[in-house]
Chains A and B, each alone.
Chain A
Amino acid sequence: MTTPSRYWREIPQRYRLEANKCKNCEITFFPPRLICPQCKNRELEPIKLAETGKILTYTVIRVPPHQFVDQAPYAVGIIELDDGVKITAQVVDCDFEDLKIGQRVRIEFRKIFQEGESGILCYGYKFVPE
């Protein structure tokens, strides 16, 4: 179970898409990092993720983890954003048959799951076709 502090800590990324970028080689990292794995530079500057991109690959989850039981089946993809960052998230508001690699999508803020009857309502980003 997610504790409030663990949930709260990730809010800048999940709600506001805060990333950072290596000042030397200009690669963007999400979530933000303390050191660039490429050039080992430790000077990184904050940046916000692009909100549009394309599907690199996708699947439809039929056997879900327990927090997602009421949502299954649902699609999850790896999306390459227009700033080059790749992230994993659900792709919603579409028929599975229409999903394809290369399809344009944009980020929307949605509920991801809820932890039981009285637990935290967990929010974050999902993708919808453009």
Chain B
Amino acid sequence: MREVAVIGVGMTKWGELWKKSLRTIFVETALLAMDDAGVDRIDSMYVGSMSSGLFVGQEHIASMLADYLGQSPVPSARVETACASGGLALRLGFMEVASGMSDVVLVSGVEKMTDVSGYEATYALGSAADQEYEGYHGITFPGLYALIARAHMEKYGTTREQLALVAVKNHCNGSKNPLAQFPFEITVDSVLNSVLVADPLRILDCSPITDGAAAAIICPAEMVRKMNKPVIKIIGSGHATDTIALSSRKDITWLEATYQAAKQAYAMADKKPEDINLIEVHDCFTIAEICVLEALGVVKRGEGGKAAEDEITFLEGKIPVNTSGGLKAKGHPVGATGVAQTVEIVKQLRGEAGERQVKDARIGMAQNMGGSGGSTLVHIFERE
């Protein structure tokens, strides 16, 4: 396998982008990544998108986006693992460069979620659960994570305040990220008094509906060394699955796919959890960040709730988590999220994260998951 590095990243301001179409959001973002990398052409591309079909009625966006990026006839593929689609795009690009098949690959993600009504968006997101045996009974995505939250609180004594602190921390970080959808701080009280969505989860426990894209250019590390640019290598990649239905799992509070994907990534990178300087995790709901930290081995099983309370995951803490603001504050255009995590880690490892810069960051990790945890991608990055 060849060593692979990220040579360019791109992201534009996320939010409700009424004036911009899916293709415009994508092309603007991909061009930023190409400019950052200093390339005007690519060998191939991957686009993570969970549901362009349900969100904008457009399938076959691989062809459309390669065309509008001015790169046809390069090979282009849209890939999907629900909200982990972006992470999957990164992994497939990584494999393609590592194998020697291609040199310069664009990995990206995009989702345009506000062209449909709230009900239609809820339906599209719900299609990442088991339609016949979960959705049929009226469960929603916040509902599935609420089931996890209630079980975690019962089993480990995790508190409502600990959940709130995850959102408070991520908004605090997001207030330092000008590209975030919600770049402002919130308080524990505001979370606890926000409207209930699915008990015990409230609206401020939930990531929002977002339009946005993220992109990265990856290539052989040797190429970056010759160009005298910072070499941010992808040193570990893991991908695993779990049952699609939450109810089928042995332990409803445990994210086995995250555990398995992390195990693969740690092994490939030859790193342990304590070697990691910062992590971007998939906090689609506050409880998710808590369970993910446990499955990544950052804290012991059952102690995810304490991590935010003890502030070890805060920007100044032992292991900063979601310096970008996470899905909660930065926004969650589902297919783009996994690649946006890469953008954040690369900025941090280059020392370009501004007000939210983690001091001496050298090794970063990103965890991106789909559905209620049925798919997970984990990547580890290191600055040479």
Contacts and interface: CB of A to CB of B under 8 A. Distances in A.
A76 to B, nearest CB: 5
Of the four ranges (under 10, 10 to 19, 20 to 34, 35 or more), the interface on chain B belongs to: 20 to 34
Give the residue among A64, A74, A88 with the most B Cβ atoms within 10 A: A88
A78 to B, nearest CB: 5
Contacts of B136: 14, 112, 122, 124
B352 interface: no
B186 interface: no
B252 A78 contact: yes
B286 to A, nearest CB: 14
Main secondary structure of the interface of B (DSSP, over half): helix
A50 interface: no
A52 interface: no
A128 interface: no
Contacts of B140: 61, 63-65
Contacts of B200: 59
B134 interface: yes
Contact of A57 (B119, B126, B151, B196): B151
Given A60-B198, A60-B199, A88-B245, A65 B150 contact: no
Interface residues of A, number: 32
B270 interface: no
A62 B248 CA distance: 24
B139 A88 contact: yes
Contacts of A63: 122, 140, 142, 197-198
A113 B154 contact: no
Interface of A: 10, 14, 31, 56-68, 71, 74, 76-78, 86-90, 96, 101, 112-113, 122, 124
